[in-house]
Structure 1
């Protein structure tokens, strides 16, 4: 009975603790760099994803999952166990969709530069 309450509590408290340590450490590091005279542009050096890239990633992932469901249904009709055919084909085609979105995004970013 107590484990039903304690397990989610420990999971969420661990996630909160990791996030808290990460953000407080990052804040202290940035304050120390600013005190030493570092340029503030140093913190904005990471690449930001545009809204179009996120939509493209989600669209290709959704297409991959849809194709995976269709292939899983075809494999089930062919005699394969549905406990194997559906998850396997969904994960395979979702991975293919994400791989395609990676190459499409890379090609788009190279054409912008």
Structure 2
């Protein structure tokens, strides 16, 4: 009986995940087909915003990964050379350096956004 409960739980979990993903993709497909049938240009289907967000996402994850790895390294030094416990050394430095790296990303993203707005403004003036 316990084996049956485990099997049902696993099947229902993966089945619901598949169902959600299927619904998302089918809805997007239907929306796109309706847009194509109504004569909307194909340029609207592929947005440059998605590509820009992908680039900025890679920047974000890269900066955070660097921050967390520096936090782990500093945590190792604190654990080795001080009387700080292992858990406190690692967790405090990972969260501290991870937070600092998020602040760095925020500043970089703000600069990138300001530059893209300035470029768009210049493109509008000279077009």
Question: Which TM-score applies when normalising by structure 2?
Answer: 0.62
- Deviates most, 13-22 or 82-91: 82-91
Determine the structure 1 residue equivalent to 2:122: none
Q: Deviations over 1:22-59 (max 9, x none)?
A: 01001111212222233322222351138865554343
Determine the structure 1 residue equivalent to 2:124: none
Q: How many equivalent residue pairs?
A: 113
Out of 95, 101, 113, the position equivalent to 1:97 is 101
Q: Which runs of 4+ in 1 moved over 6 A?
A: none
Structure 1 spans left out of the alignment, 5+ residues: none
Determine the structure 1 residue equivalent to 2:33: 31
Structure 2 spans left out of the alignment, 5+ residues: 120-127
The offset of 1:109, in angstroms, is 4.1
Cα root mean square deviation, aligned: 3.1
Question: Which TM-score applies when normalising by structure 1?
Answer: 0.68
Please tell me whether Structure 1 or Structure 2 has the larger radius of gyration of its CA atoms.
Answer: 2
Q: Deviations over 1:50-74 (max 9, x none)?
A: 8865554343223201221133235
The answer on 1:41 being equivalent to 2:43 is: yes
The answer on 1:57 being equivalent to 2:60 is: yes
The offset of 1:12, in angstroms, is 3.3
SS in 2 for 1:90: helix
Greater RCO (Cα-Cα under 8 Å, separation 6 or more): 1
SS in 1 for 2:52: coil
